[in-house]
Amino acid sequence: YLLILYKTQEIGRIYLGRNETSICLIDIAFLPEFRNRGFGTQILKNLINEAQSTQKKITIHVENFNPAYNWYVKHGFQHIEDKGVYQYMEWYPKSR
C-alpha cells in the first residue's frame, strides 16, 4: 500500500495492483476529517491519467452498500458484473 499525504500529514492509504494490461484499485481510504474534500478525486484523476497514457484499464470491486459506487460511475467507470456483495467495475482508456 501507499500512504496518502497532505503536506506532511498522513491522511489515507491506497492499495494498487498493476500488470501489463490493467491497474487494479484494490482499496482507497481516508481519515474521516479528510473525506469529501477532493483528495480522492485528485488521486483518481491521477490514476486515470496514468491508465490513459499507458492504455491500461482500471478495475475495482465496490461493495454494494458503498456510496462511492456512484462516484466511480461519475468518473467513467462501467458496471461489469454483480459479484454478490461486490460490484465489479472497469474504466477503459480512450483509443489513441
Q: pLDDT tens digit string along 72-89?
A: 999 999 999 999 999 999
User: How much is the pTM?
Assistant: 0.92
Residue by residue, DSSP assigns 60-84 as EEEETT-THHHHHHHTT-EEEEEET
Could you tell me if residue 96 is inside a domain? no
Could you tell me if residue 75 is inside a domain? yes
DSSP state of 41: H
CB 79 within 8 A of CB 90: no
95 has a pLDDT exceeding 80: yes
Q: pLDDT tens digit string along 14-60?
A: 999 999 999 999 999 999 999 999 999 999 999 999 999 999 999 99
Could you tell me if residue 70 is inside a domain? yes
Look at the chain and report how many structural domains it folds into.
1
96 has a pLDDT exceeding 90: no
Q: How many CB atoms lie within 10 A of CB 47?
A: 19
Could you tell me if residue 65 is inside a domain? yes
Could you tell me if residue 20 is inside a domain? yes
For residue 13, give the CATH number of its domain.
3.40.630.30
In one-letter notation, the amino acid at residue 82 is D
Helix (H, G, I), strand (E, B) or coil at 93: coil
CA-based nearest residue to 71, from 51, 57, 54, 91: 91
Name the residue range of residue 39's domain: 2-91
Could you tell me if residue 38 is inside a domain? yes
Predicted local confidence at residue 18, as pLDDT: 97
Could you tell me if residue 17 is inside a domain? yes
In one-letter notation, the amino acid at residue 38 is G
Could you tell me if residue 33 is inside a domain? yes
* Residue 55 to residues 31, 49, 65, 73, 96, Cα–Cα distance (Å): 31, 10, 30, 19, 8
Predicted local confidence at residue 46, as pLDDT: 97
